[in-house]
C-alpha cells in the first residue's frame, strides 16, 4: 500500500496525511486484541502514539518557524521601498537619458515595482518561464497581473502587444499590464480587442506621471483601467476622466 501511494504523482501526500491524522486522534484499543488475545500491549501502543504526537509537534514547530522566516523575508523585500520623490526623479530622468530603449525599459521595470511597493502591493520581480521573459508581476485585488514595460521612442506597435498577449494567454486566468511610455499606435488598441477576450490593459507615460505626481495611487490607476475594461470593454483610458485614449 505504501509503495503504491508513494508511486503516485503527488507521492500519496494526502492519503499519508489522512492516516497520520487518524492515528494522532486514535483512542480505541480493542479489548479483544489487547485484552483477550494479548497480542498487543496497550502500554507500548500508547507510548508509540505519544511519540508520534511529539514528532508531529516538532514538525509543526519547524513548519511554523519556516513560515515565519519566509514571511519576515518577504516583508523585508516588500518594505524596501524607494521614497516617491526618488522614484519621480528616476522616472523623469529617463526622458533625457542617453541609454538605449532596452536599458531604459529595464529601468522602467524597477520604477513600476517601486510604485507598486509604495502602494503596498505585492511585487514579483522579472523572471523567465518556458523561454519567455516576464518583466514582473503585481498582485492587485487578489489577481496577479503580468507586466510588460516598454520605453520606445514611438508608440507601441502591434507586434510586441501580440507577443505579450500570447504570454498572458498561456497562464491561468491571465491578466496583464502593458506599459508603453510613449503610448500606442492608432490601430493597436482595436486589433487587440476586436473579437477577443480582454485580458490586458494599457498604461502610458501620462498615466505614470499622474501617479508620481500623487494625483492618484498606483492601485487607483490599475483599478480605473480594469474597471473600464470590465464595464465598457475599453483597454486604453485616462485613469481620472475614464475617457478612451484610442483615436
Q: Does 209 fall in a domain? A: yes
Of the three residues 27, 51, 79, the one that is the final residue of a domain is 79
What's the pLDDT at 170? Answer: 77
The yes-or-no verdict on residue 193 having pLDDT over 70 is: no
What domain count does the chain have?
2
DSSP state of 135: -
Range of the domain at 67: 2-79
Based on the fold, state whether residues 66 and 90 are members of the same structural domain. Answer: no
Model confidence at 195: pLDDT above 60: no
| Three-class secondary structure of residue 129 per DSSP | strand
Task: Tell me if 152 is assigned to some domain.
Answer: yes
pLDDT classification of 80: cutoffs 50, 70, 90? low
**206 in a domain, yes or no?**
yes
Closest by Cα among 223, 219, 228 to 246: 228
Predicted pLDDT of residue 247: 64
Per-residue pLDDT band at 79 (split at 50, 70, 90): low
240 belongs to a structural domain: no
CA distance 206 to 137: 21
How far is Cα 163 from Cα 93, in angstroms, rounded to an integer?
Answer: 28
Q: How far is the C-alpha of 148 from the C-alpha of 183, rounded, in Å?
A: 13
Contacts of 232 (CB under 8 A, 6+ apart): none
Regarding whether 161 and 98 lie in a shared domain, the answer is: yes
| Angstrom distance (rounded) from CA 126 to CA 226 | 22
At 216-234, the pLDDT tens digits run: 999 999 999 999 999 998 9
The model scores a pTM over 0.75:
no
Cross-strand partners of 139? 122, 144
Would the CA dihedral through 229, 231, 237, 241 be positive or negative? negative
Question: For residue 87, what pLDDT band results from cuts at 50, 70 and 90?
Answer: very high
Amino acid at each position: 500500500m505504501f509503495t503504491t501511494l508513494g508511486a503516485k504523482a503527488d507521492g500519496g501526500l494526502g492519503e499519508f496525511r489522512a492516516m497520520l491524522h487518524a492515528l494522532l486522534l486514535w483512542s480505541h484499543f480493542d479489548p479483544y486484541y489487547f485484552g483477550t488475545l494479548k497480542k498487543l500491549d496497550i502500554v507500548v501502543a500508547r507510548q508509540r502514539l505519544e511519540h508520534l504526537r511529539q514528532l508531529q509537534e516538532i514538525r509543526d514547530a519547524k513548519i511554523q518557524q519556516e513560515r515565519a522566516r519566509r514571511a519576515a523575508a518577504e516583508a523585508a523585500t516588500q518594505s524596501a521601498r524607494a521614497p516617491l520623490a526618488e522614484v519621480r526623479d528616476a522616472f523623469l530622468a529617463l526622458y533625457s537619458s542617453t541609454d538605449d530603449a532596452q536599458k531604459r525599459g529595464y529601468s522602467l521595470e524597477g520604477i513600476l515595482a517601486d510604485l507598486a511597493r509604495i502602494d503596498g502591493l505585492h511585487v514579483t520581480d522579472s523572471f523567465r518561464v518556458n523561454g519567455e521573459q516576464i518583466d514582473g508581476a503585481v498582485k492587485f485585488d487578489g489577481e496577479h497581473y503580468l507586466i510588460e514595460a516598454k520605453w520606445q521612442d514611438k508608440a507601441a506597435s502591434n507586434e510586441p502587444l501580440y507577443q505579450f498577449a500570447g504570454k498572458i494567454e498561456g497562464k491561468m486566468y491571465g491578466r496583464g499590464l502593458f506599459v508603453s511610455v510613449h503610448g500606442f499606435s492608432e490601430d493597436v488598441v482595436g486589433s487587440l480587442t476586436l473579437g477577443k477576450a480582454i485580458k490586458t490593459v494599457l498604461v502610458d507615460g501620462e498615466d505614470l506621471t499622474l501617479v508620481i505626481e500623487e494625483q492618484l495611487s498606483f492601485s487607483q490607476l490599475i483599478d480605473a483601467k480594469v474597471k473600464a475594461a470590465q464595464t465598457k470593454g475599453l483597454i486604453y483610458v485616462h485613469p481620472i476622466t475614464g475617457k478612451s485614449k484610442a483615436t
